Amino acid sequence: MAVNFASYEIARSGLFVNERGLYVTGHNIANVNTPGYVRQQAMIASARYQKDPQFEFGLGADIQKIRQIRHTFLDNVYRMESQTLGYWETRQKTVSDIQAIIGEPLNEGMQNVMNQFWDSWQELSKNPESLTARALVRQRGEALVQYVNHTGNQLDKLQHDLDSEIKVRVDEINTLTSKIAKLNVGILAVENSGDSANDLRDERNLHIDRLSRLVDCDVNEMQDGQVDITVGGYFLVNKGTNELLKTVENEPGSLFMAPALQKSGTLLPVKNGILKGLLEARGEVLGSLDSFENGSPNDKIDLVFAFNTNDTAANRNNLASNIDSIVKKYTDKGIGVRLGFVTFDHTGMTASTTFAPVSLNTNGIAVPNVSNFIAGINAIAFSGTMAAGSGIDALRDAVSASNTADSISGWKNTAKQIVLMTDSGMTTSGLSNLGTEFKENYVKTLVVSNSANKTALRSFAEITGDQFIASDALSSSQIMDNVSESVRNSTYGNVIHSKNIIPDLKNKLNLLVNALAREVNRLHRNGITLDGLEGKDFFTPVNSAYPLQMGNIRVNPLLNDLNNIVSSSDGSIGDNTVAVKLADLRHTPMLGGLREVQNMDDFYRSIVGSVGNAGAEAQRTAEGQINLVNSADNFRQTIMNVSMDEEMTNMMKYQYAYGASAKVLNAIDEMIESVISRLGVVGR
C-alpha cells in the first residue's frame, strides 16, 4: 500500500476509534443510575503495522476491547462479608421479634404473672379458710397459664413463619441460579463472536451479589467467561445448567423443612448467609411437639448404674440402701423413673443392661420396682481385685438399651442419666470421644470413683455435663446426695446451649413452666381440701400425650370447685402449711445446671438476660458487619461507578480527537487532489 494511501487508513482509524469512544461514553452516561452497572472503557492501542520489503507503515489506532472497570478482589470481599451480614441481620430480626413476644423487662411479661400467682398463695396463707382467697388463687393460676400458653403459641408461630420464609428463600435461590445459568450461555455466545458482553456480565454480577447475601456460595469464573457456583461442595450453577433446590423434612417425621438438591434429595450443607440465619433462628432440630431439641421438657428419666465388678461391693451396698429415697423424691415430683444397671470389668462388658419392671401409680407416673432392682444389683459378684475396668462398651450398651426400652414402652421426653461406679479406675482409651458422643445425645454421666482417678475421669464427666465424685473423700450419704443432684441436673437442669435461637429459648421457658407446675402439683397433692379429701394436681396438661409445657398447660378443671384448692396439710382449721410452702416455692433453688442452681425468679431473669445479650450481640455484630460491607462496596464503587465529570472529559477528548482525525483526512485528501491535478502538467 502506498504511503499516501496508508495515511487515509490512519485518519480513518482515528475517526472510527473516537466514534466508538463516544459510543462508550454515551452508554456510561445513559446507565449512570442503572443498578449494578459497571462503567466501561474503550481500550485504544496502535493498529497493526503494514509491512513492506523495506519499511513498516503504521495504520493508526484500533479498539482492542471494551472493558469493564471492575475489581474482582473487592467483589470477593464484598460477597464474603455480605454472607455474614445476611446471617447476623436475620438473627437480629428474630431476637427482636422474640423480645416483643416476651415483653420484658417492662413488667408486662411472665415475671409479673408469676409474682401475682405467688402473692395469691401468700394471701391464702393469711386466711386459709377463705373462698375469696381461693378464688384469687385460681384466677391468678388461670392468668399464668393463659400467658405461658400464649407465649408458647407465639413462639411456635414465629418458628413456622421462619420455616415458610426458608421456602421463599429457596425459591429465590432457584430463580437467581436459573438466571445466572442463562446469562452464562448468553455471555459465551456474545464473546465467542468477538464482541464484549459487558451488560450481561453486569446483570450476572448483580444476581451473584444477591445470591451471596442469601447463602455461602463459591464463585469461580472460567476462561470462557462462564461461572461455576457451588454451595457446600455441590454445584448450583455449572456453565449453562443449574441444579434446583427444594425443601424437604430436615429429619424423618419433622415439621420443619431444610434446603436439599432437587434431583437427589441430599440436604444442602449451608454455613452462612440469610438462609443459615433462618435455619438457626427457627432451629435445626426435629420439629415435633415432643422434641426435646425443640424445647419440650423431659418428664421421665432412664437412670442406669454402671458397676466395675473389679471393685468391692461398698458402693453397690450404699446405693441399695438409698435408691428408694432417690426414686421417691422424683416420682413425687411427677417424673417417671426407669432403673437399670450394667456391669463390666478389665475385659469389657460382663453383663448387658437390665431394667427393673415399671408400673404406673395412681397419678399416672411411671415408678420402677425398686425391690427388683435391688435384688438384681445384690446378685452382682464383686472380685475386689481393684483392676481398672474397660467400660466403654458397657456405657454404650446402657444408652442403646435405654433407647430400646423407650421405644418399646412408648416413652418420650426421657432424660438419660448414667452413674459410673468404678473405684478401681477405668481405661481411658476412647473415653474423650465417648464423652463427646454422649454430649451430642444429651446423655449425662456421673462418675463415682477414687480420688486417685480424678485426673483421668473428671474431664469425661464434665464433657457430658455432669461431675466427678471422689468416693474416698465423701460419706456414703454425701455420695447419694450427689447422685440425687445428678438426677435433678438431668431433669430440672437440662438446659441446651446451641446456636438455635427459638428452640433454646423454648427449652428454658418450658423447663421453668414444667418445674413450676410439677412442684406446685407435688405440694398441692400432699394437702387436704376443705372437704377433707386428698389434694389433686393444681395444673394438668391439655393433652396428656405431651409434657406440661407452654401451650399444653391448664388449671385443673376440678378446681372450679374452690373447696378443692388446698392450703392445709392435715385439714385442721387455720392450718396454712401448704399455702406457705407454695408461696415460698419462688425462693427455692431448683433450676439450672450443676453449680448454677437458681430459684424460679432468678432463672427467669437469667432467661430474659440471655435474650437481651443475644439481641445486643446480634445488633452489635450486624452493625459492625454493615460497616465492613459498606466499606468494601464503597471501595469497589469508586472503581465501578460512572463519574459524570470523567465522562464529560472523555466526551470532549473524543470529540476533539474525532475532529482532528477529520481534519487530517481533509488535509490528506487535499494533498492527494493537488498531486493528481498536477500530474501531466509538465511539458505543456
Spans of all domains in the chain: 3-69+647-678, 109-159+499-609, 300-491
Could you tell me which of 543, 482, 480, 553 has the C-alpha nearest to residue 515? 553
Average pLDDT over residues 29-51: 84
Give φ, ψ of 368 to 5 degrees. -80, 160
pLDDT at 150 over 90: yes
SS (H, E, C) 288-321: CCCCCCCCCCCCEEEEEEEEECCCCCHHHHHHHH
Measured in whole angstroms, the distance separating CA 505 from the mean position of its chain's CA atoms is 12
Q: What is the pLDDT of residues 215-247, one digit of tens each?
A: 999 999 999 999 999 999 999 999 999 999 999
Distance CA(85)–CA(319), nearest Å, equals 55
Beta-sheet pairing, 414-421 with 539-540: unpaired
Q: Are 162 and 282 in contact (CB under 8 A)?
A: yes
pTM over 0.85: yes
Distance CA(669)–CA(662), nearest Å, equals 10
**Burial class of 173 by CB neighbour count within 10 A (0 to 12, 13 to 18, 19+):** buried
The third-level CATH classification (topology) of the domain covering 300-491 is Rossmann fold (3.40.50)
Average pLDDT over residues 287-312: 93
Q: What is the pLDDT of residues 200-210, one digit of tens each?
A: 999 999 999 99
Average pLDDT over residues 32-48: 85
Distance CA(24)–CA(662), nearest Å, equals 20
Give φ, ψ of 256 to 5 degrees. -105, 155
pLDDT at 681: 65
DSSP label of 234: E
pLDDT band (50, 70, 90) for residue 300: very high
pLDDT at 684: 56
Report the Cα–Cα distance between both ends of the chain, in Å, rounded: 31
pLDDT at 605 over 90: yes
pLDDT band (50, 70, 90) for residue 165: very high
Distance CA(153)–CA(157), nearest Å, equals 6
Average pLDDT over residues 95-100: 94
pLDDT at 415 over 70: yes
DSSP label of 594: T
Distance CA(273)–CA(328), nearest Å, equals 50
Cα–Cα distances in angstroms (integers) from residue 415 to residues 66, 272, 303, in the given order = 68, 32, 8
Distance CA(129)–CA(573), nearest Å, equals 7
Residue in the structure block whose three cell numbers are 420439629: 287
Which are the contacts of 363, defined by CB distance < 8 A and separation ≥ 6? 334, 525, 537
β-sheet bridge partners, residue 534: 528
Average pLDDT over residues 530-543: 94
pLDDT at 377 over 50: yes
pLDDT at 549: 96
Q: What is the pLDDT of residues 45-73, one digit of tens each?
A: 887 777 777 777 777 888 888 888 888 88
**Burial class of 545 by CB neighbour count within 10 A (0 to 12, 13 to 18, 19+):** exposed
Q: What is the pLDDT of residues 115-125, one digit of tens each?
A: 999 999 999 99
Q: What angle do CA 16, 28, 658 make, to 5 degrees?
A: 25
C-alpha cell at 273: 448467609
Percent share of the chain, pLDDT over 70: 98
Could you tell me which of 513, 463, 153, 147 has the C-alpha nearest to residue 299? 513
Cα–Cα distances in angstroms (integers) from residue 658 to residues 21, 337, 652, 668, in the given order = 10, 94, 10, 15
pLDDT band (50, 70, 90) for residue 107: low
pLDDT at 1: 43
pLDDT at 106: 62
Number of H helices, E strands in the chain: 16, 20
**Burial class of 280 by CB neighbour count within 10 A (0 to 12, 13 to 18, 19+):** buried
pLDDT at 647 over 90: no
pLDDT at 536 over 60: yes
pLDDT at 499 over 60: yes
C-alpha cell at 393: 462398651
Lowest mean pLDDT among 42-46, 246-250, 482-486, 546-550: 42-46
Average pLDDT over residues 485-501: 93
pLDDT at 666 over 50: yes
pLDDT at 680 over 80: no
pLDDT at 583: 96
Q: Are 565 and 138 in contact (CB under 8 A)?
A: yes
Q: What is the pLDDT of residues 463-474, one digit of tens each?
A: 999 999 999 999
Q: Are 655 and 22 in contact (CB under 8 A)?
A: yes
β-sheet bridge partners, residue 420: 306, 447
Largest CA distance in the chain: 154
pLDDT at 2 over 60: no
